[in-house]
Structure 1
C-alpha cells in the first residue's frame, strides 16, 4: 500500500486542519464549523478573516480593532506602485503583475525578515499582505486604463474600498454586499493546489511572503484559477451569436465542447457557493442587465434537466456564477483570477500559520522509472 501511486495526490491525507471542511456529496462547505451560507449572509469578509486567523468570530470590540489594523495597512509604497505602473504599461498579465508586486511587498515590511517561527509576526505580515493586495490590483487596473490610482478610503470596508479604488466611484449597497460575499465564498476551500503550494513552501519555514507569492503562482495556472473567466467568455460568445442560449449550448455539447463552470474535483452536486452567487446574480439583474443571469440559468437548466449531468456527478461550481457576477459589477474578465487570489490570500495565510504551528517538512517521494546500470563514458569518448 505504501508504494501505491496516487497521481496528483488524489485522496491522500497529508495534514489535519480546523479551517474548512467540504462534503462533496451533499454540497456542504464550512469554515471552522460555520456553514458558508450563514457566513455569506451574516458576516463580512473581515469577520471571516478574523475567524480563519484567530479561531472564533470576533465580538464588536475585536472586529473594530481588527478592522482598524487592516485599514492602517492598505497603503502601498510608491516604489512598488511605480513597478506596478511599469508592469501595466508593459501589458503584463494581471496575475504575473500581482505575483511580482506581492513578492516586492516584503521589501517594505516593517518587521524585516523576522524568523518564520514567530507566528505572531507572520500573522501581522499576513494581515499587511491581505490589506495591500486590493490596493495593488486596483492600481494596476487604473494604470492600464491611463488613470492614476485612487487612495484607499478608510471609511469603507475591504470589499467596498476595493471597488472604490478600482472604479473611482463608491459602490452602491448591492454591489458592495455582493462583492463582499464573493470574497467570503472564495476565502478558503481545503487543500486545493494553491493552498497546498503555500503550505509546502511554508513547511520549509520560509516566510509568509514567499508562501503567498507561491500560492499566486499556483493559482495562475488554467487548471486551478481562471475558470470563471472561461465562463464569461462563453457567455459573451453566446450573446454575440445568432442562436438563443438553449440552442447554442445544445449545439456546443453535440460538437463535444466542454462548458466551463461545470464539474468539480470535490463536489458531486451543485457547489453551495454557486447557489449563493446565483441569487446575487439575480439581484444584480434586477437593477442592471438581465441577459447574463438569463443565459447562465438557461445553460444550467439544459445541462442539468435535459442532459442529466447532475446524475453523473457534474453540476455547476462556484465559477459558473462568479464570472457573470463580476461582469455585472464592471470588472474586466482578466481580473477575475487576481480577485480570486485577493480573497484566497486570507485562506493561504491561515493554512500557513496552522501548519507552521506543528510543522513538518513536506517531502513526498517519486517512484523511479528511469534506466538502471548505465556505464559512464568520459566526455572525450562520447
Structure 2
C-alpha cells in the first residue's frame, strides 16, 4: 500500500479548530485554552457548554440566563415520551433508542425547519433543546424498561443533578452530583474523534443540526468508540466473580488472547489526563461508600498493564467504576457519554458551519479494470 494512503485517516489534518487542545505526549487536554484540570475542578458542565458554544466563559448573569433557559426546555412532549416508552417496551438497545429519540426531536422543535441551517441563533436554540432533552429521554427510557414511571425534570437542579434525580427518583447528595458533573465536563469534547468527525461530515453537506447529532450518536455506538467503559465494568465484575486476584486474572486473560479494555489511546502516549481525575474521584466514592474493591481492582490492573505492556489507562478505565458506584446501569454508560459529548459535537458543527466546505475524501481504486461484460446466460 502506498505511503500516502492513511488508513483510518490517522494523523491526517483535515480542519483547524479553537475548541480542544490535546498534547498526547505530555498528557494535556484543554477546552478553548483552559486546562481540563481547572475546568474539572472549578467549572460546572453548564459553564463548559457555554464556553464551547460561545468561545468564552460566561459571566454570572450570562450563566444564570443560560441555565434558566436550558432548564426550561428539559421536558419531552407527551407524544415523544410515549415513543420512548414504546422503545423501552420493545427492549431496544439504549444507544439505538437515543439515536431514534434525537432524530425525532426535530419534529417538536420550532427552529427545525429554519431555512438557513447555518443560522447561529437558531442553531444555539436547537442546541440548548437537544442538550437539555437528552438526559430526560435517557432517564425515562431506563425507568420505563424497569417498569417504573418517568420522573419529570426539575428546573431548579443542575444538569447533572437533574439527570440523577430523574434516573433514581430522588435528589442526589452533593458528592454524587459533583462527581457526575465532573464526569460530564471531562467527556464534553475531545478533538476530532470518530463521532465528532461524523457530525462534521454530516454538517458539511449543509444538513441540519439534528441530523449531525444523530450521525454522531450512531458513530459513538460502535464498540471501538463509546463502549469501552461498559466493557471495563463488565471486566471488573468478571474479576470480582472469579476465584483469582486481579493480577492473575489479567495474566490469564492475556494468555488466552483476550483484550483488556480501557488501555491505550489513538492520541495519548501517556496516561489520559481525564483518567487521572476520574481515578481520584473513583477512590473518593469508594472511601465514602466503604467499599474499595472496584477501585482496588482497577489500580492493580493498571499497575500490571503498565509494567507488562507499557500501556496507560484512558478515560474509560476509571469512568467505569465511577459510574457503577453511582448506581448507573452498565449499558447506560455510552448513552451518558453521548449526553456529555453532545456539547462538543454541536460546538464542532457550529465551527464547521462558520467556514464550511464539503468533506469529501477520495479512495484509490485497486480493483480490476476493463473486464469484458459476459452475457447473463454465460455467467
* TM-score, normalisation: structure 1: 0.96
- Distance in 1, Cα, partners of 2:281 & 2:266: 24
Deviation, 1:91, is 0.6
Helix, strand or coil at the partner of 2:132: helix
Deviation, 1:117, is 2.3
The C-alpha deviation readout for 1:83-133, integer Å capped at 9, x for no partner, is 110110111000000000000000001123112121221121111100000
Deviation, 1:189, is 0.3
- Distance in 2, Cα, partners of 1:172 & 1:249: 35
- Distance in 2, Cα, partners of 1:92 & 1:249: 32
In structure 2, what is the equivalent of residue 276 of structure 1?
A: 277
In structure 1, what is the equivalent of residue 292 of structure 2?
A: 290
Trace 1:227-306 onto structure 2 (pairs within 5 A).
227-288=228-289, 289-304=291-306, 306=307
In structure 2, what is the equivalent of residue 346 of structure 1?
A: 343
In structure 2, what is the equivalent of residue 165 of structure 1?
A: 166
Contact 2:112 2:126 in 1 (8 A): no
Deviates more, 1:252-261 or 1:36-45: 252-261
Q: How many residues align?
A: 376
Deviation, 1:374, is 2.2
Helix, strand or coil at the partner of 2:156: coil
Seen in structure 2, the aligned counterparts of structure 1 residues 245 and 380 have a Cα distance that, compared at 3 Å, is: closer
Trace 1:128-143 onto structure 2 (pairs within 5 A).
128-143=129-144
Deviation, 1:206, is 0.4
In structure 1, what is the equivalent of residue 122 of structure 2?
A: 121
The C-alpha deviation readout for 1:125-178, integer Å capped at 9, x for no partner, is 111100000000000001001011101111100000000000101111110000
Contact 2:24 2:269 in 1 (8 A): yes
Match of 1:334 among 331, 336, 342: 331
Consecutive unaligned residues of structure 1, counting only runs of 5 or more, are none
Trace 1:46-195 onto structure 2 (pairs within 5 A).
46-114=46-114, 115-195=116-196
- Distance in 2, Cα, partners of 1:163 & 1:94: 17
- Distance in 1, Cα, partners of 2:118 & 2:162: 33
Helix, strand or coil at the partner of 1:75: coil
- Distance in 2, Cα, partners of 1:172 & 1:85: 28
Seen in structure 2, the aligned counterparts of structure 1 residues 290 and 3 have a Cα distance that, compared at 3 Å, is: closer
1:319 aligns with 2:319: no
Deviation, 1:273, is 0.2
The C-alpha deviation readout for 1:58-78, integer Å capped at 9, x for no partner, is 010000000011101101111
Helix, strand or coil at the partner of 1:344: helix
Helix, strand or coil at the partner of 1:362: coil
- Distance in 1, Cα, partners of 2:256 & 2:27: 30
- Distance in 2, Cα, partners of 1:155 & 1:68: 9
Deviation, 1:185, is 0.4
- Distance in 2, Cα, partners of 1:303 & 1:102: 38
Helix, strand or coil at the partner of 1:257: coil
- Distance in 2, Cα, partners of 1:331 & 1:112: 32
Deviation, 1:35, is 0.4
- Distance in 1, Cα, partners of 2:258 & 2:26: 27
In structure 2, what is the equivalent of residue 35 of structure 1?
A: 35
The C-alpha deviation readout for 1:10-48, integer Å capped at 9, x for no partner, is 111100000001111110000001000000000000000
The C-alpha deviation readout for 1:284-304, integer Å capped at 9, x for no partner, is 011212111111011112222
- Distance in 1, Cα, partners of 2:324 & 2:107: 34
- Distance in 1, Cα, partners of 2:112 & 2:300: 53
- Distance in 1, Cα, partners of 2:53 & 2:17: 12
Helix, strand or coil at the partner of 1:319: helix
Consecutive unaligned residues of structure 2, counting only runs of 5 or more, are none
- Distance in 2, Cα, partners of 1:157 & 1:258: 38
* TM-score, normalisation: structure 2: 0.97
Helix, strand or coil at the partner of 1:30: strand
Helix, strand or coil at the partner of 1:29: strand
- Distance in 1, Cα, partners of 2:153 & 2:314: 32
Helix, strand or coil at the partner of 1:327: helix
- Distance in 2, Cα, partners of 1:148 & 1:222: 30
- Report the RMSD for the aligned CA atoms in angstroms: 1.3
